[in-house]
Structure 1
Amino acid sequence: MKKLFIFILLTSTVFSQEKKDTLFIAQDSIIESNNQFLFSDADLDLIDSLLVDQKFQSALVDSLSYIINDKDIIGNTDTALSTDLLKVRLSNLNDKTPFNLAFNPSLEKVINSYLLYRKRYYPGLMAKAKYYFPVFEQYLDQYDIPLEMKYLAIVESALRPQIKSRVGATGLWQFMYGTGIQFDLKVSSYVDERQDPVKATIAACKYLSELFTLFGDWDLALAAYNSGPGNVRKAIKRSGGYKNYWNIRPYLPRETADYVPAFYATMYIFEYANEHNIYSELPKFFNFQTDTIQIKRTISFDQISEKIDVDEDILSELNPSYKLDIIPFIKDRKYALRLPSDKIIEFLDKEKEIYALADTDDAQREKPLPKYFEMDQRVRYKVRSGDFLGKIANKFGVRVSDLKRWNSLKTSRLKIGQRLSVYPKKLGK
């Protein structure tokens, strides 16, 4: 049973309307006892499920504990993983890594909880990992950081490069603005390099290297990455000078106390996925199936998509650092476009056409709609599941840039049920 403050924390997360309605139904079933509001077990199962879904699916991650509720750490025995088998497996992992993966009951409960409540998310995460892990491993090796540190990005962001916490931590490695600037991650109106998989990974490697130099221990470096080195120093002092993570854990902030076990649990599940019948989905791309090209003027994703056969959603997925789906051209800071490798030649063949289209669009910017677009010729279109701007533009014989201009859209992202104003060309000619 849980107190009401848990519900207040959970409802701060951004939910779909359907999930909000479900949460409010759960809220109505709260039991009042001794002037304290408590959840029933059924409510807790529902809320835990919805929140974990938000953590792995939403574009916004709230600052939730890495262990969602007390059920995660109290008596979950509904699992095929025996204590003796877990001890053997953790010992095998411990022999291969510089982390302290010794068995303890707290870690066992976290692993069992993840297997029980979060198993369905791992096939999708593993598919993303097939794309991102080779990038991580390249730079982790370059900076002499244990390759297993790649699992940290799963704990931080569920491998969603555009994810942002409610306090502003952003990207795969969840850098705050100030820390990002400290490690040369630029943020502008157009670009957030905290969302760039390569640049953010390099920054994370530099930061982790500094933390290891400071503490001489990778477990403590992990804890400091989450809560800052000051909190780790204070925990060491309050513990009486101990420097083993498990000895100082009671003196760390609650979130950090849960953070390192979450990392260990994630490592265990990825390393022993087959033994738990967890198999990866197919990734959309492997990293080696993509390549980059330097652009020579400011261009937008819809202009690229209009000239070469690549959907804007793919461009956004491969180029997550561009906040407005626009690649700026800055003389002293070069920005590149990442494309599927088989589209590079097509881009080069049509590069002049793309830049000419961008010139035309720039010349038309801020001009009013043509006179033949009368108000009675406007169509109000409701976005349906599976719609994207290119599909809607083709349906009405208009351009994506027109749809954006008519509806004051800064990006190409749409929501189901959203209303768009469209002025079909066939009505104006």
Structure 2
Amino acid sequence: MKNEAWQAYGRHWKPVASRSQYVRQPLIETLDHFGYPRELQMVPVVESSYDPYVISSVGATGLWQLMPETASDLDVNQNKYFDGRRDIRASTRAAAKYLTRQYRRFGNWEMALAAYHLGPTAVQRRLDRHPWKPADGLRTMPLPPITKTYIRQIIGLIALQKDGLISFPKPFATETIKVQTPIDINALQEKAELPEHQIFRLNPKLRLNQYVDGKPETLSLRISKSRLQKVKQSLASTSNNHMQVTVASGENLDDISKRYNTSIQQVRASNPDIEVPLKAGQKLRLPVKLIKRFEAEGNPMLKPVSRQKLVADNSGPRI
């Protein structure tokens, strides 16, 4: 099992470990708070390679690859502002609760993991036909090969960590702050001189970049402690009257004014230093009232499904 896990993940551990730094602090805190075993932190390695933005070919997303229906059943909320499946605390609590429920049902973690991957009803049907207990060995489990591989890899990763052959780096220290809306997160990141997309990496639950319609009135954001004062200073000196919009390829001032049903004069007045011709990716400022009437910009780390990185289909039915 260790060799299998090493071949699949150990040789490519660096990117997994790097991504984990953004999300492992709330994940471990949640497991510890509710008394779930820390070994469960290896499940997201196999599920998502610790990338909360991954979406599978069957529509599961987040570190724990929750399907929309299952998320709703586990009280993980989704709306136009947030996706709880990418909320590290909410999804970790839900997934660990689900796994623990399956452990109590089947009496061992091997079948609990099988139920997470294949679904508890399918697992029960197979056990009814071919009873199994851990002493029988993993190879004799009455499960599809892909599910047995899934279980072996997770158990193998746990063993590799215990043997010191793989380890997670210390997660980034963060503090949660509340910010008032309207807010343009990209503009805040630029003003606070944060690394690109840092707020979105620390807060993958966000669906939007711009929160402009007054709902919610405040956002809870995890911010790196090393940048916290800079962010607070930037918030204190930032006007909420204007938001950034991004110029699309081929757009000119006339296109921007038509997109937001305003005038070229208004665009120029809000951007006195504007240079033309416009360039793709260029940032312009517009009054919030214009953006409220149209579509606010989304989280830049969310890509259309057709272009989104897919989880290598190591998946059976997702929970």
Partner of 1:159: 50
Q: Post-superposition shift, 1:273?
A: 4.2
Q: Does 1:229 pair with 2:111?
A: no
Report if the CA contact (8 A) 2:183-2:243 is conserved.
no
Other structure's SS at 2:177 match: strand
Partner of 1:360: 242
Partner of 2:229: 345
Aligned Cα root-mean-square deviation (Å): 3.6
- The residue identity in structure 1 corresponding to 2:277 is R
Partner deviation per Cα, 1:336-366 (whole Å, 9 max, x = no partner): 1121113333333343443x2x32339x992
Q: Give the 3 Å change call, closer, same or farther, for CA 249–258 of structure 1 in structure 2.
A: farther
Q: Post-superposition shift, 1:178?
A: 0.8
Q: Give the 3 Å change call, closer, same or farther, for CA 250–146 of structure 1 in structure 2.
A: same
Q: Post-superposition shift, 1:129?
A: 3.8
Distance 1:146 1:279 in 2: 17
1:192 pairs, out of 83, 90, 100, with: 83
Distance 2:11 2:300 in 1: 29
Q: Does 1:177 pair with 2:68?
A: yes
Distance 2:193 2:183 in 1: 16
Q: Give the 3 Å change call, closer, same or farther, for CA 251–214 of structure 1 in structure 2.
A: same
Partner of 2:99: 208
Partner of 2:129: 238
Report if the CA contact (8 A) 1:249-1:257 is conserved.
no
Distance 2:68 2:276 in 1: 46
Partner of 2:277: 378
1:412 pairs, out of 300, 305, 308, with: 300
Distance 1:150 1:368 in 2: 50
Partner of 2:185: 301
- The residue identity in structure 2 corresponding to 1:144 is G
- The residue identity in structure 1 corresponding to 2:189 is S
- The residue identity in structure 2 corresponding to 1:242 is W
Q: Give the 3 Å change call, closer, same or farther, for CA 272–178 of structure 1 in structure 2.
A: same
Partner of 2:146: 255
Distance 1:411 1:164 in 2: 15
Partner deviation per Cα, 1:266-304 (whole Å, 9 max, x = no partner): 222233344xxx677x67xx33x2111112213221231
Q: Post-superposition shift, 1:377?
A: 4.1
Q: Post-superposition shift, 1:128?
A: 3.7
Report if the CA contact (8 A) 2:77-2:84 is conserved.
yes
Report if the CA contact (8 A) 1:312-1:412 is conserved.
no
Q: Give the 3 Å change call, closer, same or farther, for CA 305–411 of structure 1 in structure 2.
A: same
Instruction: Give the alignment of 1:277-356 within 5 angstroms.
Output: 286-287=171-172, 289-327=173-211, 330=215, 335-354=219-238, 356=239
Q: Post-superposition shift, 1:369?
A: 5.6
Partner of 1:120: 11
Q: Which runs of 5+ in 2 are unaligned?
A: 245-256, 269-274, 304-319
Q: Give the 3 Å change call, closer, same or farther, for CA 142–247 of structure 1 in structure 2.
A: same
Report if the CA contact (8 A) 2:40-2:96 is conserved.
no
Other structure's SS at 2:207 match: coil
Instruction: Give the alignment of 1:49-198 within 5 angstroms.
Output: 107=1, 111-116=2-7, 118-198=9-89
Identity across aligned pairs (percent)? 24
Report if the CA contact (8 A) 1:219-1:260 is conserved.
yes
Other structure's SS at 1:209 match: helix
Distance 1:400 1:340 in 2: 27
Larger Rg: 1
Q: Post-superposition shift, 1:410?
A: 4.0
Other structure's SS at 2:175 match: strand
Report if the CA contact (8 A) 1:302-1:401 is conserved.
no
- The residue identity in structure 2 corresponding to 1:347 is V
Distance 1:169 1:256 in 2: 17
Q: Does 1:272 pair with 2:157?
A: no
Distance 2:133 2:208 in 1: 45
Q: Post-superposition shift, 1:168?
A: 0.7
Distance 2:8 2:103 in 1: 33
Partner of 1:7: none
Distance 1:249 1:212 in 2: 19
Report if the CA contact (8 A) 2:6-2:157 is conserved.
no
Q: How many residues align?
A: 275
Q: Give the 3 Å change call, closer, same or farther, for CA 220–414 of structure 1 in structure 2.
A: closer
- The residue identity in structure 2 corresponding to 1:205 is A
Report if the CA contact (8 A) 2:200-2:299 is conserved.
no
Q: Post-superposition shift, 1:173?
A: 0.6
Q: Post-superposition shift, 1:256?
A: 1.5
Partner deviation per Cα, 1:212-242 (whole Å, 9 max, x = no partner): 2222222211111111111111121111x33
Q: Does 1:220 pair with 2:111?
A: yes
